[in-house]
A and B are shown apart, each in its own frame.
Chain A
Amino acid sequence: MSSERTHTRQLLSRRETLCRAANGFGGIALLSMLAGESQAATPGPHHAAKAKSVIFLFMDGGPSQMDTFDPKPRLTEENGKPLPFRPPTTVFNISDKVYGSPFTFKQHGQSGAWVSDLFPHVAECVDDMTIIRSMVANHSEHTAANYFIHSGSGFQGRPSMGAWINYGLGSASENLPGFVVLESGLIPPGGMDCFSSGFLPASYQGTLFRKGEHPIADLTPPEGKSAGQRDKLEFIGKLNRGVLDRFGKVSEIEATISNYELAYRMQAAVPDLLDFSSESAATRKLYGLDDPLTEEFGRECLIARRLVERGVRFIECLSPARKGIDRWDQHSNIEKGHRINAKSTDKPIAGLLKDLKSRGLLDDTLVIWGGEFGRTPNAQFPDGGYVSVVGRDHNPFGFTMWMAGGGVKRGCVHGATDEYGYFAVENKVHMHDLHATMLHLLGIDHKRLTYYYGGRNMRLTDVHGNVVTEILA
């Protein structure tokens, strides 16, 4: 950015900035004009949007492409034989022996997309999905890869995509945060920094909704202290109007006063969000709320839909914790681990897609499924330590993610890996491209969604990224 533009931004009146910076919890979030490098104005949208909200189903740990959506018969044929090329360095020092998928693939829907028997319910939705079999990412280990899929950088401290989107578009929700992370006991490696606002103002950071009765920190007073809240707020309001007289009419203080009102309204909005009493028995069943195995992720998916209805921009659903297995990260016993993970999420995901569609919400809601990387076609064998039954190592060179709704093609399979499923070879979609495409669908030009920090204009896509036009509806 030229310094001239910096100056122009500085000269915007405080009040103007106040209006333009609507974000976060939907209300007034005033950003300091004094912070020098961190001025902000809502920089989007740039063109008509197809999607209003994103639901990101994050499959923490890295699901295997050749066991889910990218069948590789050659692996079965050559099971146990060495790969004909030297595989790249992986996290573990693993074997070069091919491992055929233990799962069975079938074609589904009008589109005839292949899905393994891990996902019988999702398979019913393939005609609404674009399956990208040629994803490429930059990092072979979890934490950097998690930062990368979330923020476009493998390092800690960059804004997560949910933060970027809310910075770009503002929140359409009155009383709820614009970037919500739903979890059921499992935070991905890299921790809360996966959902960080990085150098963007703190208001854009992801808000973690925990399982249970009190999902958000500090939303409500501790037990027995809620009586008199209204009275206290009114008293604080009086004190603060006195402060305005004393300090002069300072817009930060005016914003602080409004925020106390908003905070009060939010206290009511969250219980309303989580009250499922208006949901029919059929809907609950659709999401698998009637089955202990699917209940947790089903709940996340149903809350996600309800958040979309309330105008929340970016919702991330984290994989549930399952006893005895480590996320989707099956170095050991991929057959058992992937089976459990798939069973826990398959029905809720399909339920979400079907429910969004039947309510007419799928058209402007973009659903994204995937992990930080895929897995290797070669086997990681029992080693007397970490691995007890055959599994697969990490593979960022070619893996599968899928999208549905929000302006992507329906019933489409895009890109391909080589015949072993190791490397993306056709129509590669780099993670930066996925980010660019997601922003495009939201009406944002990824090259123009910038924030001036550390001497240059920063982007979610850094200096990379191309919109994958082939998958746009």
Chain B
Amino acid sequence: MVGDMVARLWPSVVLVAALHGPLVLAAEGDELFERKIRPILVERCYSCHSAKVAAPMGGLRLDVPLQNEHSRKRLLLAISYTDPQLRMPPTGKLAQETIDDIRRWIEMGAPDPRANAVGPASAEAGSDNASVARARDYWAFQPVRKPVPPPGAAANPIDRFLDARIGEKKLKVSAPADRRSWLRRVSLDLTGLPPARADLDAYLADVSENADENAVERLLASPHYGERWARHWMDLVRFAETNGHEFDNNKLDAWQYRDYLIRAFNADLPYDQLVREHIAGDLLPNPRLASNGAFLESPIASGAFWFGEVLNSAVDSVKTRADTVDNQLDVAGKAFLGLTVACARCHDHKFDPIPTRDYYSMAGILHSTYLRETVVDSPSRVREIEQAMAKVAARNRDWTPAASGKAELRAGDELFEDFGSGSFVGSWQTAGQAFGQGPVRGYANSAGPGANQLVGSLTSRKFRMPKLWVHVRLAGTKPSAAIKESQSIRVTVVADDHKSAHLVPSGKPGFEWVSARMTKEIGRECYFEIVDRARDGHIVVDKIVISDEKEPPADPSAIASPVRLAEDGVPIPESVWAMTSQDENPHDIRLHIRGSHTNLGDEVPRGFFLEVITGAGQPLVKQGSGRLELADWFARGSNPLTARVMVNRVWKHHFGAGLVRTPDNFGKTGQRPSHPELLDWLAASFVESGWSVKQLHRWMVLSAAYRRSSKADPEAEAADPTNALLARYPVRRLEAEVIRDSMLAVAGTLAPRLFGPSVMPHISRYQDGRGKPKSGPLDGDGRRSIYVQVRRNFLTPMFLAFDYPLPVSTIGARGSSTVPSQALLMLNNEFVLQQAGAWADRASSREPDPARRLERMYVEAFARPPEDWERREALAYADRASWTDLAHALLNSAEFLYVQ
């Protein structure tokens, strides 16, 4: 990288400090500038480096005084023509005399009379406070107020707001939909599954006033509700279970987050708490316990920062980190605030009042945050494990190995760790209990406390990999998994967040040296993980040596094995692993001019607010990374965006489009709300309800607007072609996962089981590339689509054809395209044919009479019996083709793929 090269060369540019006081030099300097420097700048530099061009090259302007030492050094380097990558002017080297003049001028401190000139100075960075204050008038930054619903006949306030606007336009609203259509609509909306026949019958039989409420309560209480709404949320956090990039390695434990979401939605976790846990779940003083009491829920949400792409061979650690943080801020800004904060990475936001300074004050928080593979056992589970361990035979527990020998180091060796005795505190972070509190007699020993069943890990400090070889002296159980990063026993080198190299025991008795070449890791930010996630094994690490030598050092004398284990049948309770965030080395970062990590401006103190919302002069971060304060500010009821953005998302999923049709962008380039008072009424009521998402559903799906038929009144259609006023209910195509899940549901092949590790996706012969996984079953074991592993580089083609979002950034509104490849897929895809066959077989075996069989299939697929003409046509078709063909045709019907 050009910048990287430049950064390394700077120190060699020697600058002579000005020897005289600035006052003495002022006149002389000005004269030198006007006589020699300015003409050259105008003639040779301004064409690329001035306000004349929209985007000055390299972010450098020479028509204003040089900003800082940094740009002065850079200028000198460039004109010296010594760096093959930075030679300026590009059209030819300046005369030596001119270069000497510029050098002399810079040595004088670059005196610049232009600094006193009237006119705008450089606006490279920093905010214009006045404009930010003015921008506070924009609707989205105004506090939420709860408007009084307009007068009207409707009981539901939502209808009063909508009816008022429809009344103004004198539109005729569509008639209410029939009960079957409504139930199919609300079932698909709340659970992502068509209504089961029994549920349809029960609803139709319920003639009470509360029939609709009863149906909605049943759906909200269904565990499938959480599966449906967790998936919507996963679109916002670009959920993926692999790193993408070249080899698409696994993100361990990512699925735990999916289960966290399902549980959270099912339990109607107050939304402000959900937000807090996403930003700082690992830091909350009172983390939330799982319902079984065994593990902590809150930290799991903080893993959501880390679902982005991870480079397996980053060339530049600093840039890689800056890119990761940018993606994290982009997602957090869009998902929670509906703001494109990341636009302010390179320049003050062009449309919204977000100065670059706000961006870097928040970026500092995430630069102080790291990913951690850890154990999230609850305090009671920790105690249970301790109590079980107390029952392990004393001969195992208290047995001490002979002390480890000293390493014989060579000239090129660096001893990274030799494990003494005492405590890990200050050198290694522990997770779980396998490694105890500290090393014993020179070993980190996951069987130290005396049982193979214990799990845990050690994580080292971060460092730049200095040499080409890593040698680890270790002993232990050979892990079984074939996929490297999933091996349960390993020493892993993590380079720039990528689990890059794995050193594992061969399983032979006694110690051995295991080596890895740091070809791609050298020079990058690394740390070691020593991991034992096996319930039936252990690892013992003696030394870690980083070396210039390919061969490991000589073997120090030591006992054959420091482990004595006799399994004695004491069951140790299990631990739960998760990917979480953690604070580390909290620090402020410098502003990146034009987004470049090689062109740094002033340090920006970490802050947890946007000036446009809170005003200037808010307190800065006081403790740790600042995520705790950031979480609190995001989740505060007075934040004008948090509640508005969320109620709009829920609205979008019920009515096809948000009240703000750009759900991830409430800024000036987004759209204005179609019903601002309704939006605010919902937001205020949402906060009043204790941030209950289920309450939002009740208000929305029990409204008259939600019940309307999708058949439009022609005049209303002409007056409101985008249906912004909702005089009718919009026809919507089902999402990819709902189409697949509906097929499983009607075919009777759906496995209703919740939770657990993901099922591998089916990989067809048309999917290829590096990191190609072993294919999972064609039908995904009948699991709902949310349980199909999200492999970044191997997304399921059927999902992609139906606009499944790429997991790269927040997607609050998926596309909904209609293309011939969808028809081809529905006609020819193996999975669709398989499900059609299963459906036909099942219907045939349960219902021998063809007419009743057909009726049953219609009800399963469309929640209605066939009309006469359909019955005639379908039975005739099944006769001349087959019932499987008929089932297949019904799955291809637009009525199956759309909801009205």
Q: Which residues of A contact B (CB under 8 A)?
A: 1, 3, 6-7, 10-11, 13-14, 24-25, 27-38, 85-86, 88-93, 139-144, 155-157, 177, 183, 187-193, 196, 198, 201-203, 205, 207-208, 210, 216-222, 225, 228-229, 231-233, 235-236, 238-240, 242-243, 246-248, 250, 252-253, 255-257, 259-260, 262-263, 266-267, 384-386, 397, 418, 422-423, 425, 452, 454-456, 463
Contact = CB atoms under 8 A, between A and B. Distances in A.
Interface string B816-838: 11111111110111100100000
Contacts of A231: 877, 880-881
B525 interface: no
Contact of A156 (B806, B821, B867): B806
Given A231-B881, A235-B873, A386-B519, A259 B823 contact: yes
B309 interface: yes
Contacts of B300: none
B468 interface: yes
**Highest count of chain A CB atoms <10 Å: which of B55, B315, B340:** B315
A35 B894 contact: no
Contacts of A141: 246, 311, 313-315
Interface in B289-341: 309, 311-316, 323, 330, 334, 340
Given A236-B889, A246-B895, A266-B820, A455 B671 contact: no
Nearest to B550: A384
B893 A34 contact: no
13 contacts: A35-B816, A38-B813, A157-B808, A191-B771, A218-B829, A222-B830, A239-B892, A243-B895, A256-B823, A260-B827, A266-B820, A386-B519, A455-B343
B828 A220 contact: yes
Contacts of A36: 657-658, 661-663, 671, 813
A345 B459 CA distance: 49
Given A93-B468, A239-B894, 14 more contacts: A31-B817, A32-B817, A34-B722, A89-B1, A189-B245, A217-B829, A219-B824, A221-B827, A225-B833, A243-B893, A243-B894, A246-B900, A252-B816, A255-B818
Interface of B: 1-2, 4-5, 8, 55, 84-85, 87, 244-246, 248, 309, 311-316, 323, 330, 334, 340, 343, 350-351, 468, 517, 519-520, 522-523, 550, 656-658, 661-665, 667-672, 710-712, 721-722, 728, 730-733, 764-771, 792-794, 797, 800-803, 806-809, 813-825, 827-830, 833, 867, 869-870, 873, 877, 880-881, 885, 888-890, 892-895, 897-898, 900
B824 A156 contact: no
B731 A257 contact: no
Contacts of B523: 89, 93
A238 B866 CA distance: 13
Nearest to B817: A201
B823 to A, nearest CB: 4
A454 B731 contact: no
A191 B793 contact: yes
Nearest to A250: B731
A157 B814 contact: no
A236 B769 CA distance: 36
Contact of B793 (A177, A193, A418): A193
A95 to B, nearest CB: 13
Contacts of A250: 710, 731, 898
- How would you classify the secondary structure of chain A's contact residues: helix, strand, loop or mixed? loop
A156 B245 contact: yes
Contact of A192 (B350, B767, B808): B767
A197 B397 CA distance: 59
Contact of B824 (A202, A218, A455): A218
A243 B895 CA distance: 6
Nearest to B238: A157
B806 A193 contact: yes
A109 B822 CA distance: 49
Given A191-B793, A456-B343, A229 B827 contact: yes
10 A-B pairs with least C-beta separation:
A157-B808, A455-B340, A191-B769, A32-B816, A217-B766, A187-B769, A36-B661, A263-B823, A191-B793, A248-B711
Contact of A1 (B343, B669, B767): B669
B315 A140 contact: yes
B721 A13 contact: yes
Contact of A202 (B721, B803, B869): B803
A259 B5 contact: no
Contacts of B246: 141-143, 189-190
A455 B817 contact: no
B873 A91 contact: no
Contacts of A248: 710-712, 728, 731, 900
B885 A232 contact: yes
A34 B816 contact: yes
A436 to B, nearest CB: 15
Contacts, number: 308
A141 B519 CA distance: 13
A202 B801 CA distance: 6
- How would you classify the secondary structure of chain B's contact residues: helix, strand, loop or mixed? loop
B340 A253 contact: no
B546 to A, nearest CB: 14
A202 B711 contact: no
B823 A232 contact: no
Contact of B315 (A3, A37, A89, A262): A89
A228 B817 contact: no
**Highest count of chain A CB atoms <10 Å: which of B87, B315, B824, B889:** B824
A228 B813 contact: no
A191 B248 contact: yes
Given A34-B816, A36-B662, A191-B769, A93 B888 contact: no
**Highest count of chain A CB atoms <10 Å: which of B658, B814, B894:** B894
B835 to A, nearest CB: 14
A191 B898 contact: no
B670 A217 contact: no
Nearest to A233: B827
Contact of B309 (A155, A235, A257, A266): A155
A326 B454 CA distance: 43
A247 B900 contact: yes
B396 to A, nearest CB: 41
A228 B823 CA distance: 16
B895 A423 contact: no
B770 A202 contact: no
A455 B667 contact: yes
Nearest to B723: A34
B721 A29 contact: no
Contacts of B2: 88, 397
A207 B55 CA distance: 37
A454 B326 CA distance: 14
Nearest to A154: B323
A191 B793 CA distance: 6
A11 B722 contact: yes
A192 B895 contact: no
B671 A6 contact: yes
A205 B800 contact: yes
Contact of B823 (A1, A183, A192, A262): A262
Contacts of A196: 806
Nearest to A397: B85
Contact of B731 (A6, A210, A253, A266): A253
B505 to A, nearest CB: 22
Contact of B818 (A228, A252, A263): A252
B177 to A, nearest CB: 11
A3 B893 contact: no
A156 B386 CA distance: 45
A260 B893 contact: no
A247 B797 CA distance: 29
B4 to A, nearest CB: 6
Contacts of B323: 155
Contacts of B313: 91, 141
